[in-house]
Amino acid sequence: MTELSTIVAVQGVSKRFVMHQDKSLKERMVAFATSRKHRQDFWALRDIELEIPTGSTVGLVGHNGSGKSTLLKVIGGIIQPSSGTVRRRGRLAALLELGAGFHPDLTGRENVYLNAAILGLTKAETDRYFDAIVDFSGIESFIDTQVKFYSSGMYVRLAFAVSVHVDPDLLLVDEVLAVGDEPFQRKCLAKIAEFQREGRTIVFVSHSSDQIGQLCDRVVVLDHGSMVHDGSAADGIKVLRESFEAAHSPPPRVESPDGVLTSGARIDDVRVSCSSTDLSGDFLPGGDLRVEIDYTIGSVPAGWIAGIDIETPVGQGVYRINTDGLGMSLPARPGSYSLGIDLGGNALGAGSYQLHASLVTPEGRDLDRRQPAASFSVSTEPGSVGVVHFRASADLTVG
CA distances from 114 to 121, 233, 309 (A): 10, 36, 47
Q: Which pLDDT belongs to residue 273?
A: 95
Q: CA–CA separation, 292 vs 281, rounded Å?
A: 18
Q: Which amino acid is at 243?
A: S
**DSSP assignment of 12-65:** EEEEEEEEE--SSHHHHHHTGGGGGGGEEEEEEEEEEEEEEETT-EEEEE-STT
Q: Is the Cβ–Cβ distance between 304 and 231 less than 8 Å?
A: no
Q: Which pLDDT belongs to residue 366?
A: 87
Domain residue ranges of the chain, discontinuous segments joined by +: 254-378
Is the confidence at residue 124, as pLDDT, over 60? yes
SS3 call for 81: coil
Q: Does the structural domain 254-378 have CATH classification 3.30.300.30?
A: no
Rounded mean pLDDT of 188-217? 86
Is the confidence at residue 336, as pLDDT, over 50? yes
Q: What is the pLDDT of residues 125-177, one digit of tens each?
A: 999 999 999 999 889 999 999 999 998 888 888 888 888 888 889 999 887 66
Is the confidence at residue 317, as pLDDT, over 90? no
- For 305, the enclosing helix (H) or strand (E) is strand 305-311
Q: Within its chain, how far is the Cα of 181 from the centroid?
A: 17
pLDDT band at 262 (very low <50, low <70, confident <90, very high): low
Rounded mean pLDDT of 302-309? 94
Q: Which pLDDT belongs to residue 88?
A: 92
First-to-last alpha carbon distance for the chain, in angstroms, is 60
Q: What is the pLDDT of residues 39-52, one digit of tens each?
A: 778 899 999 999 99
Neighbours of 25 (CB within 10 A): 9
Q: Which pLDDT belongs to residue 305?
A: 95
Q: Which pLDDT belongs to residue 2?
A: 46
Select the highest-mean-pLDDT range: 10-19, 261-270, 313-322. Answer: 10-19
Q: CA–CA separation, 295 vs 333, rounded Å?
A: 12
